[in-house]
Amino acid sequence: MLRLPRLDVLMPATLDEAVLALQSPGSRLIAGGTDLLPNLKHRLESPTMLVSLAGVRELSTITVDDDAQELVIGAGATLTTVEQCPQVRAHAPSLCSAAGLVASPLIRNQATLGGNVNLDTRCRYVNQTDFWRSAIGGCIKSEGTVCHVVPGGKNCVAAMSSDCVPVLISLGASLQLVGPNGRRRVAMKDYYVADGTRHTTREDGEVTTAVIVPLVSTPRRAGYSKWTVRGSIDFPLTSVALCFDLERDEVAAPIAGATVVVGVLGAKPRVVTRLDEVVGKSLSDPETAAIVAERVHRQCKPLANVPYEAPYRRQMLRVHTRRAIEALVADG
Amino acid sequence: MALIQREALDREDPQRRVPIAEAFWWAEEDHGLLGEVGSYNTPKDRHGEYRGGTIGASPAYSFTAHIADLSVDVETGVTTVHKVWVAHDCGQALSRRIVEGQMEGSVYMGFAEAIMEEHVVDPEHNGEHTGPSLLDYRMPTFLDTPDIEALIVEAPDAQGPYGAKEAGEGPLHPIIPAIANGIYDAVGVRIDRLPFSPPRVLAAIQAREAEVAAGHVQPHKTNARRAG
Amino acid sequence: MTARLLRFSVNGEPVTVAVEPQRTLLEVLRYELDLIGSKQGCDKGDCGACTVQIDGLPRLSCLTLALAVEGRDIQTVEGLGRAHGGCHPLQDAMDRWDAAQCGFCTPGILMSAESLLRRSPGPVTRSEVREALAGNLCRCTGYTKIIDAVVDASEQMAAPRDETEAAQ
C-alpha cells in the first residue's frame, strides 16, 4: 500500500483558471497522473496542491491546420487516442507506433501526450520507495548529494524515458506552452537539457497545451524502435526514432534528409549527428542501415541508470537501429 | 439433478427447474447446513531414516515431461519461447481443469525464472534488492507468456487420496532444463545460470563464435547451415 | 486537508461521499464505499489489479485522484453481472474454465476483458485477448485458462449456446 502525501487538489474547468492556480506557491500540475502519482507515493516531490487538468476539455482536441500545414495534438489527448487517431496515423505514423508502445493499455487509457513529453527522468536509484532510498542515503535527484550511477558525478544523469519524445524530435515537432506571461512555442529539440533533476526548459507556471507536428508534402519513411524485457508495462531500455525524407515515394529512392534521435541515455535525448554520408544513398541500400547504425553506436553511450548492462544496451543500439531501417524497407 | 446456469434442474425432466439459491434453501431446510469435512494423511510407514524425514512423506511421486519450442536471436541473445507442451502424471485427476491450471501456472512460473525473473541484491549499495516492485521485478505479462498445452497423464496411485499424486510443484521443474536444452539445440551454448537473459546468452554465443574462429570447436549445426 | 464532497456514479447508482483530496479512487471505493472487489496490489500502475472502468474505459483506480472523477460514471466488478441476472457471461466463463486460482487479479482482468468484448462484438482471437489484457498481471494461471475463458465468453455472447441441451 502506497499512500499519497497530504495535499490539496484543484479542478479548474479552463486553461486560464489552471494557469492562474499554478501561480500559488507549492502548486504542481497533474494531467493523467500515471507518472506523477507514483513519484508522489514514493515521496520524490512534495507539492502542497495539485492542479488537475482532468476537467479542462479544451486541451484534448486533435486537428490538422491546413493553412499552417501543421498537425496540432492537444496535450490532454490520451496516448490511446493518439495511437488510434486517423489524422495522426496519416501524418505521423511513427508517433502512433511510439504512443502504442508506452507501458500498458491501462496506462495509455489514462496518460496524456502532454504528460509523456514532460515525463520525469528515471533512474534505478531514484524511482523506488523512500524507505528503499533511505538505505543508500538518496542521491542528487532525491534526498542525497551523491550520484550512484556515475561515482563522483555532480550532474544528475537520470534517463529521459519517454517513447514519444525521440519520435517527436525526429519529426521536427514543437510544443505550445501557456504561462502567466502568455503563449510561447519551443522546438522540441531545444526543450530538453542535460540535467536529470530538471530536464526541460518549462517554467513552473507553464502548461504544455499542444504538440505541433509540421506536415510534409515530400515522401517520408519514419519509424520507432523500442527494446525492453517485457512486451508490456516496461519503460524502454533502448529507444531509437528514425525519419528519412526521400526524393521519390519508394524505399529505393535516394535519401534527401535523415534524422535519428535516441532516448534512455542521460536526461537529454540525443540527436545523432554526421548523417550527411547517407544523403543521396538509397534507403534500401544495406550500406545505409550499416552507416546509420554505426553512427548511433559511436555517439550513444547508455549508462547504468536503468536496468540491464549498459555495454549490452550500447551493442543493441547498433542492432536495433539497423533492424528498424530494414523494417522500413520491408514495409515498402 | 444438475446445477446449470444458476438453475437446479431435474435431469429426467429438464422443464422442472428452480433457481440454484432456492434449491440450496430447500436442501438446508431439510438437512441443515450443507457441508462436508474431509482430510488425508500420508501413510505412517513412508519416511526417510533421517532428521526431518517423517514430515509429510509423500507416498508417491509425480512425473513430468516438458517440450519447449523456442528460438534464439543470435544478434541480441533474446530467447523467445513460442509454445510449451507439458505432460504430467498426477495420479488420478480429481478435477481436470484445475489440474491443467496447476500445470499451466507451473510452466509459467518456471518459464519466468528461466527467461527474466531474478532476485539480485547489490553489494555495492548496502545490499539493496534491485527489483523491489512489480515494475523492477519483471513477471511475464500476457504478451510474454508462451502458449501452453497441458496433457494430463493419469496413473492412479493406491496410496494417494482417490488415487491422486500431486499437481502443484512437480510440473514447474522441467521447464527450466527444457529451455536450457532448447537454447543449446538452437545455438550450441550451455547456459548454467538463471535467468537465461539476453546479455548472458549473447555473451555465450559470442564466446563460442570466438572459439570457432580459433578452430577450437566445430561450428554449431545452425551456423553450419547458415554458412552453407 | 479538509474533506470535500464528491459526487459520481458507481455501477449506475449515484453516490455522494466526503473525501480528503489526496485519496485515490481505489481508496474511496474500498474504504469509503466498501467496494472491495477492486484490489490494491502494487498501488502504482504495474499490476492492473485495481482496474475499473471510467466512462466505459478500463483505467487504473490506484493512479486516479478521487476528486478527478466528479460527475463520471464508474463501473467496478461488483456491477458487472447486474444486467445479466447476477453473473456476466465472462464471469460464467471464468468459472467454467477455472480461470481464477488465487483470484486476486480476477476483478481487474474482468474489467479489462469486458471493455474488449464491448469494443469488438463477436468472437475475439487469442492474440486480441493478450493485447487487451497486457496491463493485468497474473501470478497463478499462466494466463492460458483466462484466455480460454475470454474467448469462450465472446463466442457465447455472439451466439448463446443452450447449456441445458449440452448437459443432457
3-class secondary structure per residue, A274-311: CCHHHCCCECCCHHHHHHHHHHHHHHCCCCCCCCCCHH
Handedness of CA C161, C163, C165, C168 (dihedral sign): positive
Q: What is the pLDDT of residue C85?
A: 81
The whole-angstrom distance between A53's CA and the closest CA on chain C is 9
The reply to whether C55 and C118 lie within a common domain is no
Q: What is the pLDDT of residue B161?
A: 87
Q: For B112, name the nearest residue in chain A, comparing CA atoms only.
A: A230
Pairing of strands B121-122, B63-72: unpaired
The answer on pLDDT for C166 being more than 60 is no
Q: Which three cell numbers stand for residue A224?
A: 520507432
Asked if residue C154 is part of any domain, the answer here is yes
The reply to whether B11 and B96 lie within a common domain is no
Asked if residue B41 is part of any domain, the answer here is no
How far is A93 from B185, CA to CA, in rounded Å? Answer: 39
Indicate the residue among C24, C50, C79 that finishes a domain: C79
Q: Using an 8 Å Cβ cutoff, are B79 and B183 in contact? A: yes
The reply to whether A263 and A300 lie within a common domain is yes
Asked if residue A112 is part of any domain, the answer here is yes
The reply to whether B208 and B95 lie within a common domain is yes
The reply to whether C67 and C88 lie within a common domain is no
The answer on pLDDT for B225 being more than 60 is no
The reply to whether B27 and B118 lie within a common domain is no
Give mean pLDDT, residues A44-69: 96
The reply to whether A99 and A226 lie within a common domain is no
How far is B109 from C140, CA to CA, in rounded Å? Answer: 8
Domain containing residue C21: CATH number: 3.10.20.30
The whole-angstrom distance between A88's CA and the closest CA on chain B is 26
How far is C144 from B85, CA to CA, in rounded Å? Answer: 12
Sheet holding C51-54, edge to edge: C13-19, C4-10, C73-75, C51-54, C57-60
Asked if residue C101 is part of any domain, the answer here is yes
Give the pLDDT confidence of A154-184 residue by residue, as tens digits: 999 999 999 999 999 999 999 999 999 999 9
Peptide bond into A269 cis (omega under 30): no
The reply to whether C70 and C109 lie within a common domain is no
Give the pLDDT confidence of C84-108 residue by residue, as tens digits: 988 999 999 999 999 999 999 999 9
The reply to whether A88 and A163 lie within a common domain is yes
Q: For residue C78, how far is the Cα from the chain centroid?
A: 8
Give the pLDDT confidence of B20-74 residue by residue, as tens digits: 889 988 999 998 988 889 888 877 777 777 787 766 667 788 999 999 999 999 9
Continuous segment of H or E residues that includes residue C54 = strand C51-54
Q: Could you report the predicted ipTM of this complex, rounded to two decimals?
A: 0.96
Give the pLDDT confidence of B214-223 residue by residue, as tens digits: 999 999 985 4
Q: What is the pLDDT of residue B56?
A: 64
Per CB-CB distance under 8 Å, the chain B contacts of A230 are 116, 138, 140-141, 143-144
Indicate the residue among C79, C111, C136 that finishes a domain: C79
Percent of chain C predicted with pLDDT > 70: 95
How far is C4 from C64, CA to CA, in rounded Å? Answer: 16
Asked if residue B207 is part of any domain, the answer here is yes
The reply to whether B174 and B215 lie within a common domain is yes
Give the pLDDT confidence of B162-196 residue by residue, as tens digits: 999 999 889 999 999 999 999 999 999 999 999 99
Q: Does C156 touch chain B (CB under 8 A)?
A: no
Asked if residue C153 is part of any domain, the answer here is yes
**Least CB–CB distance from C65: residue in A6, A52, A232:** A52
Q: What is the pLDDT of residue B6?
A: 79
Asked if residue A27 is part of any domain, the answer here is no
Q: What is the pLDDT of residue A154?
A: 95
Per CB-CB distance under 8 Å, the chain A contacts of C48 are 104, 106
Percent of chain B predicted with pLDDT > 70: 95
Q: Which three cell numbers stand for residue C122?
A: 463477436
The reply to whether A188 and A61 lie within a common domain is yes
The residue among C136, C111, C120 whose CA lies nearest residue C45 is C136
Continuous segment of H or E residues that includes residue A164 = helix A164-170
The whole-angstrom distance between C56's CA and the closest CA on chain A is 11
Counting the structural domains of chain C, the total is 2
The reply to whether B72 and B157 lie within a common domain is yes
Domain containing residue B130: CATH number: 3.30.365.10
**What does the angle CA A86 – CA A260 – CA A309 come to, to the nearest 5 degrees?**
110
How far is A252 from A237, CA to CA, in rounded Å? Answer: 31
The reply to whether A204 and A275 lie within a common domain is no
The reply to whether B106 and B173 lie within a common domain is yes
Q: What is the pLDDT of residue C158?
A: 92
How far is C144 from B178, CA to CA, in rounded Å? Answer: 19
Give the pLDDT confidence of C15-49 residue by residue, as tens digits: 999 999 999 999 999 999 999 999 999 999 999 99
Indicate the residue among C62, C79, C96 that finishes a domain: C79
**Least CB–CB distance from B132: residue in A132, A227, A308:** A132
Q: What is the pLDDT of residue A72?
A: 98
The answer on pLDDT for A122 being more than 90 is yes
Percent of chain A predicted with pLDDT > 70: 100
Q: Using an 8 Å Cβ cutoff, are B171 and B107 in contact? A: yes
The residue among B101, B87, B113, B220 whose CA lies nearest residue B177 is B113
Q: Using an 8 Å Cβ cutoff, are B201 and B191 in contact? A: yes
Asked if residue A85 is part of any domain, the answer here is yes
**C77 versus B32: which is more confidently predicted?**
C77
Q: Using an 8 Å Cβ cutoff, are C11 and C22 in contact? A: no
The residue among A256, A251, A238 whose CA lies nearest residue A326 is A251
Report which residue type is found at A126. V
Give mean pLDDT, residues A67-95: 98
Asked if residue B148 is part of any domain, the answer here is yes
The answer on pLDDT for B207 being more than 70 is yes
The reply to whether C62 and C128 lie within a common domain is no
Q: What is the largest CA-CA distance in chain C?
A: 62
The reply to whether B18 and B118 lie within a common domain is no
Domain containing residue C102: CATH number: 1.10.150.120
The answer on pLDDT for A146 being more than 70 is yes
Q: Where are the alpha helices (DSSP H) in chain C?
A: 25-27, 89-96, 106-119, 126-132, 144-158, 163-167
CB contact under 8 A, B76 and A319: yes
Which A residues in the span 217-236 are in contact with C, Cβ-Cβ below 8 Å?
231-233
Residue for cell digits 541515455?
A265
Asked if residue C165 is part of any domain, the answer here is no
Q: What is the pLDDT of residue C162?
A: 58
The answer on pLDDT for C167 being more than 50 is no
The reply to whether C120 and C139 lie within a common domain is yes
Cβ contacts from B onto C, under 8 A? 81
Q: What is the pLDDT of residue B7?
A: 87
Expressed as residue numbers, the domain containing A311 is 220-331
The reply to whether A288 and A251 lie within a common domain is yes
Domain containing residue A277: CATH number: 3.30.390.50
Per CB-CB distance under 8 Å, the chain C contacts of B147 are 144
Average pLDDT, rounded, for chain B: 91
Q: Which three cell numbers stand for residue B177?
A: 532444463
Give mean pLDDT, residues A106-126: 98
Give the pLDDT confidence of A198-243 residue by residue, as tens digits: 999 999 899 999 999 999 999 999 999 999 999 999 999 999 999 9
Predicted confidence band of residue B226 (pLDDT cuts 50, 70, 90):
very low
| Out of A308-317, B45-54, B146-155, least confident range | B45-54
Sheet holding B17-19, edge to edge: B2-4, B7-9, B17-19
How far is A261 from A296, CA to CA, in rounded Å? Answer: 9
The whole-angstrom distance between B71's CA and the closest CA on chain A is 16
The reply to whether B125 and B180 lie within a common domain is yes
Asked if residue A129 is part of any domain, the answer here is no
Residue for cell digits 431446510?
B29
> What stretches of chain A adopt beta strand conformation (E)?
8-10, 27-30, 49-52, 62-65, 70-74, 174-179, 182-187, 207-214, 220-227, 238-246, 255-263, 270-271
Q: Does A240 touch chain B (CB under 8 A)?
A: no
Counting the structural domains of chain B, the total is 2
3-state secondary structure chain B: CEEECCEEECCCCCCCEEEHHHHHHHHHHHHCCCCCCCCCCCCCCCCCCCCCCCCCCCCCCCEEEEEEEEEECCCCCCEEEEEEEEEEECECCCCHHHHHHHHHHHHHHHHHHHHCCCCCEEHHHCCEECCCCCCCCCCCCCCCCCEEEEEEECCCCCCCHHHECCCCCHHHCCHHHHHHHHHHHHHCCCCCCCCCCHHHHHHHHHHHHHHHHCCCCCCCHHHHHHHC
Expressed as residue numbers, the domain containing C114 is 82-158
Buried b (16+ CB within 10 A) or exposed e, C132-155: bbbbbbbbbbbbbbbbbbbbbbbb
Q: Which three cell numbers stand for residue A52?
A: 488537475
Asked if residue A44 is part of any domain, the answer here is no
The reply to whether A192 and A99 lie within a common domain is yes
Give the pLDDT confidence of A299-309 residue by residue, as tens digits: 999 999 999 99
How far is A75 from A53, CA to CA, in rounded Å? Answer: 10
The reply to whether A61 and A205 lie within a common domain is yes
The reply to whether C112 and C58 lie within a common domain is no
Asked if residue A25 is part of any domain, the answer here is no
Asked if residue C27 is part of any domain, the answer here is yes
Among all residues of B, which ones are annotated catalytic?
169
Indicate the residue among A174, A191, A214 that finishes a domain: A214
Expressed as residue numbers, the domain containing B17 is 2-31
| Out of A11-20, A109-118, B3-12, least confident range | B3-12
Per CB-CB distance under 8 Å, the chain A contacts of B140 are 230
Burial class from Cβ neighbours inside 10 Å (0-12, 13-18, 19+) for residue B218 reads: exposed
The reply to whether C11 and C48 lie within a common domain is yes
Counting the structural domains of chain A, the total is 2
Per CB-CB distance under 8 Å, the chain C contacts of A55 are 68, 70
Which residues are within 8 A (CB) of B186 and not within 5 positions of it... i.e. 6 or more apart? B70, B71, B72, B222
Q: What is the pLDDT of residue C161?
A: 66
How far is A187 from A212, CA to CA, in rounded Å? Answer: 9
The reply to whether A251 and A181 lie within a common domain is no
Q: Which three cell numbers stand for residue A84?
A: 488510434
Q: Does C53 touch chain A (CB under 8 A)?
A: no
The residue among A318, A314, A300 whose CA lies nearest residue A262 is A300
The set of chains that have 3 or more CB pairs under 8 A with C is: A, B
Q: Using an 8 Å Cβ cutoff, are A232 and B141 in contact? A: yes
The residue among B202, A164, B12, B3 whose CA lies nearest residue C95 is B3
Q: What is the pLDDT of residue C19?
A: 97
Q: What is the pLDDT of residue C168?
A: 43
Q: What is the pLDDT of residue C163?
A: 54
Asked if residue A163 is part of any domain, the answer here is yes
The reply to whether B27 and B79 lie within a common domain is no
Q: For C137, name the nearest residue in chain A, comparing CA atoms only.
A: A233
The count of C-alpha atoms lying within 13 angstroms of the C-alpha of B178, restricted to the half-sphere facing its C-beta, is 23
How far is A40 from A127, CA to CA, in rounded Å? Answer: 10
